[in-house]
Amino acid sequence: MSNKLWSGRFSKPTAKAVEEFTESVSVDARMVAEDIWGSEAHAIMLAAQGIIGEDDLRVILRGLERARELHEAGKLKLRQDREDVHMNVESYLIEEAGIEFGGKLHTGRSRNDQVATDARMRMRVEILDTQEALLHLQAALLELATGNEATLFPGFTHVQHAQPITLGFWATAHASVLARDFERLSGAYDRVNRCPLGAAALAGSSFPLDRKLTAKLLGFDSVLEHALDCVSSRDHTLETLSALAICASNLSKLAEELVLWSTSEFGLVTLDDAYASGSSIMPQKKNPDVPELVRGRTGRLYGALVQMLTVVKGTPLGYNRDLQEDRFQLWMAFDALRPSLHLMGDVIATARFDTDRAAELAGAEFACATELANWLVRQRGLSFRESHEIVGKLVGAVADAPDAFADAGRVAELMSQAGIEAAAAELVPLLDPARVVAGYRTTGSTAPREVRRMMRALARQAERSRADVESRRSREWSARQRTQTVVRGVLAGEGLGDLLA
């Protein structure tokens, strides 16, 4: 006969293949501590509400403490025939403390609200870890920008030379993208950090559960009220996966640039030997494997999001076993993105940017042509369309000599042929990428002083972000401590009323 906690109405043991097919211990392994913490909080609340006695509570908490010690020592083995972490912990308790006490723990609780609670608690940790890795990369980009506010760099559109920019401008662009990725994860955290415990199976409970108390003991910001919503919804998982996938997509674009720019053709960056790989046959090779894998691993993140969207789309309200599929991709997604963010930070921090080559490319291929057209508008009163046409013709005439714009005399000559008289000296600043870059006046432009201002703003924002992560961690930590204090107090024979006051 099966020893399962739900085996009452069954007359045959579960087929082995079914046990293997339906298990979730493999993904639950990541939330054992959360499951035990959740059980402690639930038991404390049951006793505080007079649903179980304080003596029962003591026995239950003693069993849970032992489970926790075993888990922390790596000795709490999750058995597949016990299906999931919830039944593993409860079965352990029953074995340890006896059916009477172990069984009382599940009063007013279902695995449906339990799993939703555990996963949310674990997601909090994973989101904060991801945000920390993100800030590491962002810090490396801001560090790279420091001192390079005015360092010339080629700016591209369509991967064709477009206009000169600065290295600091490029680095702060990625840093500013990451600031939004951070915000998205914070938003997801806000939605994740609401407590579904107390929803029970789907309809709430006829026991007078104090949902605020469990939410508080578990460090949640608030109670997620509607019981049916609590057990049915995984939109917080979709939102988190979506934030992760968008972040991966942004990261992949940065990776792509590093791959391109480390080619001899671009020659803009050299990756540190410690962050590059070689070839087994070609002795000369140095390959950008880290950015390539970051780019490639993006597929895992998109896959996770699409998988989860697909899992939930056909599930009616109420818990459906499909939902168990959530953690397989979710944990994988966190595991893929966090090291990608972290390593990219290391890659950026150790890479060498070739500033001579960058300066050379910054003005290449008529990159200053737009400024010449702007000058015709300002100094000669032409409409921009007219000036665009004139400069376009000029470029067309010397298209096979891309260095022609480096010579102001030659450009003056070409202008004169187009009916515009200009002294070479007047044109010099328009054709000099450094002066072009310095001449930008708009908010958010590549002008070095603007880059410097944006760097400062991003650094301040990063400070606040770091403080946010810290304060969320410490809120979790103090809730954990609060619960532990109550547990220890109860085990020492103190009254629950005093402990919770």
Per DSSP, what are the bridge partners of residue 166?
152
User: Is 331 near ligand ARG (CB under 6 A)?
Assistant: no
- Residue 315 in tokens: 């599930």
User: Is 115 near ligand ARG (CB under 6 A)?
Assistant: yes
Which of 11, 158, 264, 280 is an active site residue? 158
CB of 86 to ligand ARG, least distance (A): 6
* Phi and psi, residue 286, nearest 5°: -135, 110
CB of 473 to ligand ARG, least distance (A): 26
Distance CA 172, CA 458 (A): 8
User: Is 197 near ligand ARG (CB under 6 A)?
Assistant: no
**In terms of residues, how long is the chain?**
501
| 24 classed as catalytic | no
CA 469 vs CA 189, 424, 466, 499: distances in Å = 11, 56, 5, 29
What is the contact mask toward ligand ARG in residues 74 to 113, using x (rule: CB under 6 A)? ----------x--------------------------xx-
CB of 29 to ligand ARG, least distance (A): 12
Distance CA 495, CA 120 (A): 30
Distance CA 381, CA 386 (A): 10
User: Is 319 near ligand ARG (CB under 6 A)?
Assistant: yes
| 471 classed as catalytic | no
Residue 202 or residue 398: which is nearer to ligand ARG going by CB?
A: 202
Residue of 196, 223, 16, 179 lying closest to 111 (CA atoms) = 196
Residue 24 or residue 166: which is nearer to ligand ARG going by CB?
A: 24
DSSP collapsed to 3 states, 376-408: HHHHHCCCHHHHHHHHHHHHHHCCCCCCHHHCH
User: Is 24 near ligand ARG (CB under 6 A)?
Assistant: yes
CB of 336 to ligand ARG, least distance (A): 21
Residue of 284, 301, 286, 297 lying closest to 245 (CA atoms) = 301
Distance of CA 183 to the CA centre of its chain: 9
Residue 39 or residue 324: which is nearer to ligand ARG going by CB?
A: 324
User: Is 64 near ligand ARG (CB under 6 A)?
Assistant: no
User: Is 32 near ligand ARG (CB under 6 A)?
Assistant: no
Residue 30 or residue 300: which is nearer to ligand ARG going by CB?
A: 30
Q: Which residues bind ligand ARG (CB under 6 A)?
A: 24, 84, 111-112, 115, 319, 321, 323-324
> Which residues does the annotation mark as catalytic?
158, 279
